Chain A
Amino acid sequence: MNKSAINLLPVALAPKTFFINFAKNLKKLAILGFVALIITATVSITIFILFTNQINGLIKEEEDLKKSIKALEETEQRLILVQDRLTKADNILSQTKLNDEVPKAKSFIDDLPEKVIYSNVAIAPNNFKINLFTDDSEALAELFTKIIVSGKYQKVTLRSLNFNSEKGYSTSIDLNL
């Protein structure tokens, strides 16, 4: 019989089998825990080192980029100037102003019937007002027909139509573009 198998202790002093098994299980758990601890520590240190290297690389890259951008500072200044001017130009151009009303008014005057004469034209954004004279009622009728048939105007307002035996007809028309 194996020497170690001989239990010389009195039965009353020997631990119970349940406790011996429990202790063995605890020992196994402790060994497993130790392995897990070593693995966790190793993985943590590895990740830490990898991240530190990555951060150092990125910081160096960042510094290099900053130097390159600093070298192009003049270009950056100009670009910011251009963007600032363009924002302001856009703001100015969006203000109320004449666009293509002037050529449209000219085209209206050019198309006037032969006997119709203009005296005043007031051009504003999206509309113009014109004062006209004629001694021929047929020319006046032709003018109104032209205006209606052309379809160029959103709204036509006849402000006044007067007749004077000496000067003939005078009329004032508002044309909305």
Chain B
Amino acid sequence: MLIFGKEINQNSILNPNIRVMIIPSLSLIIIITLFIVVVKTSIPKISEQMNLVKNTDENVSKLNQKLDILREVKDKVLGYADTSLLAVPDENPILWKMAQLKSITSENEMHLLSRSVDVKETQGGGINDVEVIIAASGSLAKAMDYIKAVQNSSPISNIESVSIKRISENDVEVHFTVKTFHSRLPTKLPKISEPIKNLTSKEQDLLEDLSKLKAPEFTMLEPNGPFDRLDPFN
């Protein structure tokens, strides 16, 4: 068949119905493929970034909260640390506790009859206790004040039972066991990104109560150095 002078073989060309749809169909297929590629690539990336933003934002708010708490307690925490460390010391406080008991005894006009110390093994929660068994005599009123003063001294002193014996019209003999406690300091700091809690109202109240306990006169035994003796015979 001749068209415009050219021989066209009718069998060699595609069906015109199909030929007219080839370009639009191919274009559509390519665009759909590209669309799927774009969507499949961008959605996980965007979702990953959204998660990263969410996590980083949470971290930032936790750190902000932590920083606020630290700034808030910065000025007060030194006093809190002193009070709480006196109440539950990190080392066995028996030496200064004994000195403190002696001074409480004399302040309350009691006469110390005997005292002995019994060191116990670790209790639950890493708390060790030391028992001081005391026998003292004096008037009933002074004995009661004495027991109360021992209970209200720092480090925390628990008295489980008291026995009072009347020895004369005015005097009594008291026997009781005082338990004092000590515990090692925590050795690990939490990670910087871990949140920190401020002191709860219950903890604040407890601190208030602990600050009312009578502090010992000394908590460190300084070594006694050699001194110049002006008069070698006295």
Q: How far is the CB of B17 from chain A (nearest CB, A)?
A: 4
Kindly supply a per-residue 1/0 record for chain A positions 72-84, scoring 1 wherever the CB is within 8 Å of any chain B CB and 0 otherwise. 1101111111111
Please determine whether B20 and A95 come into contact, CB atoms closer than 8 angstroms.
no
Check if B28 sits within 8 Å of A51, measured CB to CB: no
Contact of B156 among A40, A89, A103 (CB under 8 A): A89
Q: Is A6 an interface residue (CB 8 A)?
A: no
Given the known inter-chain contacts A36-B35, A48-B49, please indicate yes or no for A69 contacting B70, CB distance below 8 A. Answer: yes
Task: Note all chain A residues with C-beta closer than 8 A to B53.
Answer: 51, 54-55, 58
B166 contacts A by Cβ under 8 Å: yes
Chain B proximity of A2: nearest CB distance (Å): 18
Binds A, one of B92-100, B102-110, B180-188: B180-188
A17 CA to B19 CA in the complex, in Å?
A: 13
A47-101 interface with B by 8 A CB criterion:
47-48, 51-52, 54-55, 58-59, 61-62, 65-66, 68-70, 72-73, 75-93, 95-98
Nearest to A125 among chain B residues (CB) is B160
Q: Write out the residue numbers on chain A whose beta carbons fall within 8 Å of the beta carbon of B45.
A: 44, 48
Smallest CB separation, B175 vs chain A (Å): 10
Residue of chain A at shortest CB distance from B42: A44
The answer to whether A15 and B17 touch across the interface, beta carbons within 8 angstroms, is: yes
Chain A residues touching B, majority SS: helix
CA distance A167 to B16 in the complex (A): 138
Complex alpha-carbon distance, A82 and B86, angstroms? 11
Contact with A62, one of B63, B70, B151, B190 (Cβ below 8 angstroms):
B63
With a CB–CB cut-off of 8 A, which chain A residues contact B151? Answer: 98, 102
* Contacts known (A55-B56, A95-B158, A106-B140); A26 close to B21, Cβ less than 8 A: yes
Bound complex: CA A48 to CA B53 (Å): 11
Main SS at interface, chain B = helix
Within B135-173, the residues touching A (CB, 8 Å) are 140-141, 144, 147-148, 151, 156, 158-166
Q: A27-B24, A51-B46, A70-B192 are in contact. Are A121 and B181 (CB under 8 A)?
A: no
* Chain A 7-35 near chain B by CB (<8 Å), digits 1 or 0: 01110111110011011101101100110
B88 touches A85 (CB 8 A): yes
A72 to B73, CA, bound (A): 10
A117 within 8 A of B: yes
User: Are the C-beta atoms of A86 and B56 separated by less than 8 Å?
Assistant: no
Q: Are A8 and B4 in contact (CB under 8 A)?
A: yes
Name the contact of B166 in the complex, choosing from A16, A65, A98, A117 (C-beta under 8 A).
A117
Contact with A97, one of B25, B38, B158 (Cβ below 8 angstroms): B158
Min CB–CB distance B74 → chain A (angstroms): 5
C-beta contact mask, A101-124 vs B, less than 8 Å → 1, else 0? 011011001000000011111111
Does B222 make an interface contact (CB < 8 A)?
A: no
CA–CA, A116 and B64, complex, Å:
68
* Distance between A28 CB and nearest chain B CB, rounded to angstroms: 9
Chain A minimum-CB-distance residue to B28: A30
Q: A47 and B46: CB pair below 8 A? A: yes
Q: In the complex, how many angstroms separate the beta carbon of B51 from the nearest chain A beta carbon?
A: 10
Complex contacts, A68 vs chain B, CB 8 Å: 67
Other than A47-B42, A65-B67, give 5 A-B pairs with Cβ distance below 8 A.
Answer: A26-B27, A75-B70, A80-B189, A98-B158, A102-B148
Which 5 residue pairs across A and B have the least CB separation, nearest first? A26-B24, A85-B84, A44-B42, A51-B49, A65-B63
